[in-house]
Structure 1
Amino acid sequence: MGENLYLIFLSLLLFLISSATIPDDIRLSPNANFPVRQAEKLIRQLNLLPKDAVESIDDDDDSSLAPKLVEKRFKFPNILHSGDSVKDLGHHAGYYRIQHSHAAKMFYFFFESRNNKKDPVVIWLTGGPGCSSELAVFYENGPFTIANNLSLASNLLYVDQPTGTGFSYSSDVRDIRHNEGGVSDDLYDFLQAFFAEHPHYAKNDFYITGESYAGHYIPAFAARVHKGNKAKEGIQINLKGFAIGNGLTDPAIQYKAYTDYSLDMGIITESQYKRVNKLLPACELAIKLCGTDGTVSCMASYVVCNSIFNKIIRIAGDINYYDIRKKCEGSLCYDFSNMEKFLNQKSVREALGVGAIEFVSCSTSVYMAMLMDWMRNLEVGIPALLEDGIKLLVYAGEYDLICNWLGNSRWIHAMEWSGQKEFVASPTVHNAGHMVPMDQPKAALEMLKRWTQGELAEATAKSEDGIAVM
């Protein structure tokens, strides 16, 4: 009975959105109606199986002799522009058999610090959901293409997650993750195996970093590590802090910032601003329902709230919503085809030990599987971490629309905790879009170094290195 009443209410909500006294050009399109049954059917049918088995991994999960983590040193063949700077750098690639899965394998890169092995261990998580962390390896802060990268200051881990992302895969559809609980448990299990394999890094300071949809992953993962430490579940992980770049963390606040940011940046006019804002009440109500129900209602909130963003993009035309200074080219607004071609070369796959798995930058299947997680608020778990002394850094490039600095600034300043008034670790990075380490590598490196050393407040107060307080 309750479910029927809910569906009736949901239908009424969507009817009101599409038929309210709003000009025809900003109604929710009939082609974008709420596909409850279709979406549920699609999610059930998602298949993340690779075309071929991974050649270098024992896929017999029933075998107690199969190692949990298989890692190898590697050297890329025919790599261009790497230079002498990476000549002596320790490169590792590997697979981890996810402990609480049916047949999932998590792929990762590990790069040793060029400075000191006692430098912090930093894990990087790319968002999407479903986008590979290899994007960061080759285009942002990895050791191959730029001089100002994180390996100058830390030991770097890049993980393809959730299952089905990048080179990570499963031969069992039950390993698909749909929420942060499953994602963070997998990452925590991976860390335990990694530090068991590399015990000399276990006592190093540990930081969690990433961008975009990792604004969901990172707080949940940090909370999972902290929980494991407090419960003494396994190896103690020396978690010192977590950093979110251009993230989606509190959708209820951030989605309301779309129109304000777009108006301030000249993307929409005042009259367009007023019209699009008429969609906000429906978005707010849908998000509230997601917060209490957490299942089908979260799919509804995704559709309803993204009608705001989609309308702005239709007005803006071919704008790159990751960097409004540029035009959108291709399905991701950036051309990552060279990386995909490189990683799909047979010699490269053999060097990495990934067999014949086809690499794609971003997985549509993983994206769809996580849709009901999209509108959940991950800010709620952060204050407890801050109260226990774990540091937070939230930064954003000034020209990013999709996870803009304004929305991030608002949720940070709305977050209630004992250090709320003094909190300053929320810089805006000038002349950068969504991918800050790609656009401003020197500023990104300095920001991370100063934050880990407790010196960021002084730098942002002086607006040094293209960084200013939000």
Structure 2
Amino acid sequence: MAKPQLLFLFSFSLLCLISFSAAASSITADLRLTDSSFPSVHAKKLIRELNLFPKGEVNVVDEHRVSLPEGPKLVEKRFKFPTLEVPGGVSFEDLGHHAGYYKLPNSHDARMFYFFFESRNSKKDPVVIWLTGGPGCSSELALFYENGPFTIADNMSLVWNEYGWDKASNLLYVDQPIGTGFSYSSDQRDIRHNEDEVSNDLYDFLQAFFAEHPEFAKNDFFITGESYAGHYIPAFAARVHRGNKAKEGIHINLKGFAIGNGLTDPAIQYKAYTDYALDMGVIKKSDHDRINKLVPICEMAIKLCGTDGTISCMASYFVCNNIFNGIMALAGDTNYYDVRKKCEGSLCYDFSNMESFLNKKSVRDALGVGNIDFVSCSPTVYQAMLVDWMRNLEVGNSRWVHAMEWSGQKEFVASPEVPFIVDGAEAGVLKTHGALGFLKVISLPTCLFNL
């Protein structure tokens, strides 16, 4: 439960926000402060809807449980998953699968876990790093359910993924921020709270990774991810650019980044929640207009969050999430990741095989993670990133892309949408100008990176 003084300040912030609104009397009923309104409770609900039940809320462990060499160094091993069948003649070395830990230099005792899968095609293929959002969800979600080399069958065996990105790239999956997945610390102070900390950790890791694998250092490099990674990725790309410009270490050949349904700019994106729900027939026009009365308060709250800090951010989280909650209260069992589908009770997807697989002793031994628990999604990390979260809502991607200020903005806005063809059939529409492209994919949910 919230401390009394914090709850008072939180409630006071809400009252101040509402009092500034001309529509205050008509929207008060839509602002409901319940247990599920608070970030940690909301995070746990989202995790359960994926049929995930992590053993702990965050990977902060007793310092005596594990031991790795001291110093900011990378400890890596080649491995093969015990249930993976490899083609005849492919050796352990040829497989090129690696798992490792990197002790972060700017931390008290944090270790970042990663997977590295060499390309099935050529070592000269681009190096691609994948960052899952949440915030606080492991990148292994994408590894096993989206774009990784294999998927998990019901009998816990691994099946090679025909569309795995490792068929055309050297692929990195990183568990971050610290406390997520197999990444851990023995010190609570290593939990990250903002994008500067997150992007610095990732940059330090990349420097160590390319020092360990100099044969990949000159390859083209791309940053990819989805959802909350819409915030991670631009910050990380900017950090790489600054490092290159300042000649801080190994030059990273950054060529671009890709964001799927990202959280990036709330000042533009928030209005799309109700617009999209109306367009898809999830809500009626009267519901749209009623819920939209919360939008000015949400906008004001986000601005206060950017200047006043934690209490205002908590208030903005509550106000803005009531827009989403108001829609979902009317949507029933609609799957909000893919509105064409229904959730079965509270279950929208079943990712439980991932937890079961990664907690098998044979798998853990193969990876060299010892007795570190696998935390699929961390409510603690989710809440720790609250300030940054309220500057980014997962809506309106087209709007913020069109509003983004850059040298080719006018030409991009004026450019036509053209059919995007896959295997002779239209799979979406594509709009491009220069180095910027925006692709709307037909018939795919939030997690579209299994292309």
Q: TM-score range by the shorter chain?
A: 0.7 to 0.9
RMSD, aligned α-carbons: 3.0
2:427 is aligned with 1:415: no
Contact 1:119–1:205 (CA under 8 A) maintained in structure 2: yes
- Mapped to 2, the partners of 1:311 and 1:261 lie a distance apart of 14
Instruction: List gaps (5 residues or longer) in structure 2.
Output: 1-7, 43-56, 152-160, 413-431
How far is 1:299 from its partner? 2.4
Say if 1:206 and 1:241, in contact at 8 Å, map to a contact too. yes
Contact between 1:53 and 1:355, CA under 8 Å: does it hold in 2? no
On the 8 A contact 2:228/2:394 being kept in 1, the answer is no
Q: Name the aligned partner's letter for residue 368 of structure 1.
A: Q
Distance in 1 (alpha carbons) for counterparts of 2:267 and 2:216? 39
Contact 2:121 2:167 in 1 (8 A): yes
Match of residue 125 from structure 2: 119
Q: CA deviation at 1:149?
A: 1.6
Are the counterparts in 1 of residues 27 and 294 from structure 2 also a CA contact under 8 Å? no
Quote the Cα distance in structure 2 between the aligned partners of 1:358 and 1:95: 14
**Rounded Cα–Cα distance in structure 2 between residues aligned with 1:95 and 1:295:** 32
| Counterpart mapping for 1:45-444 below 5 A | 48-50=59-61, 55=66, 57-58=68-69, 63=70, 66=71, 68-79=73-84, 88-145=94-151, 146-329=161-344, 333-376=348-391, 403-404=394-395, 407-423=396-412, 424=432, 425-437=437-449, 441=450, 444=451
Please tell me whether the aligned partners of residues 52 and 356 of structure 1 are also in contact (alpha carbons under 8 angstroms). no
Task: Tell me the number of residue pairs that the alignment of Structure 1 and Structure 2 aligns.
Answer: 395
State the Cα distance separating 1:403 from its structure 2 match. Answer: 3.6
* Residue of structure 2 aligned with 1:27, choices 27, 30, 33: 30
More displaced 10-residue stretch of structure 1: 5-14 or 423-432: 5-14
Q: What's the TM-score, normalizing by structure 1?
A: 0.78
Give CA deviations for 1:395-435 in whole Å, capped at 9, x if unaligned. xxxxxxx845xx10000101111111333201011110000
Superimposed CA distance per residue, residues 183-224 of structure 1 (whole angstroms, 9 cap, x where no aligned partner): 001001000100110111111111000000000100000011
- Which whole-Å deviations, capped at 9, do the CAs of 1:272-317 have from their partners, x for residues lacking one? 1111011111001111212333443222211111110111011101
> How far 1:343 sits from its partner (Å)?
0.4
Report the alpha carbon displacement of residue 368 of structure 1 after superposing the two structures with TM.
Answer: 1.0
**Does the 8 Å contact 1:209/1:242 carry over to 2?**
yes
Report the Cα distance in structure 2 between the residues aligned to 1:335 and 1:35, rounded to whole angstroms: 24
Q: Secondary structure of the equivalent of 1:138?
A: helix
Share of identical aligned residues, percent? Answer: 69
Distance 1:174 1:276, change over 3 A: same
Q: Which runs of no fewer than 5 residues in structure 1 stay unpaired?
A: 40-45, 378-401, 445-470
Query: What residue number does 1:394 align with?
Result: none
Helix, strand or coil: the match of 1:92?
strand
Question: Contact 1:127–1:210 at 8 Å: present in 2 too?
Answer: yes
AA of the residue aligned to 2:147: N
Residue 23 of structure 1: how far off its partner (Å):
6.6
Label 1:367 to 1:112 Cα distance change in 2 as closer, same or farther (>3 A): same
Partner amino acid, structure 2, of 1:133: S
Structure 1 residue 175, shift from structure 2 partner: 0.3
Residues 58 and 381, structure 2, Cα contact 8 Å, conserved in 1: no
Q: 1:371 to 1:359 in 2, by over 3 A?
A: same
TM-aligned CA deviation for residue 9 of structure 1: 5.5
Q: Distance in 1 between matches of 2:213 and 2:366?
A: 21
**1:143–1:33 distance in 2 versus 1, CA, 3 Å:** closer
Whether the 8 Å contact between 1:268 and 1:315 is mirrored in structure 2 is yes
Letter in 2 for 1:57: L
- What TM-score does the superposition give when structure 2 sets the normalisation length? 0.81
Higher relative contact order (CA 8 A, sep 6+): 2
- On the 8 A contact 2:58/2:375 being kept in 1, the answer is no
Residue 447 of structure 2 aligns with an amino acid whose one-letter code is M
Q: State how far apart, in whole Å, the 1-side matches of 2:9 and 2:182 are.
A: 43
**1:6/1:279 Cα in 2 relative to 1: closer, same or farther (>3 Å)?**
closer
Secondary structure of 2:335's partner?
coil
Which structure dedicates a bigger proportion of its chain to helix?
A: 1
1:417-458 Cα deviation digits (max 9, x unpaired): 111133320101111000002xxx3xx3xxxxxxxxxxxxxx
Q: Distance in 2 between matches of 1:235 and 1:272?
A: 54
The one-letter amino acid paired with 2:150 is: F
CA distance in 2, matches of 1:223, 1:96: 22
Report how far residue 79 of structure 1 moved: 3.9
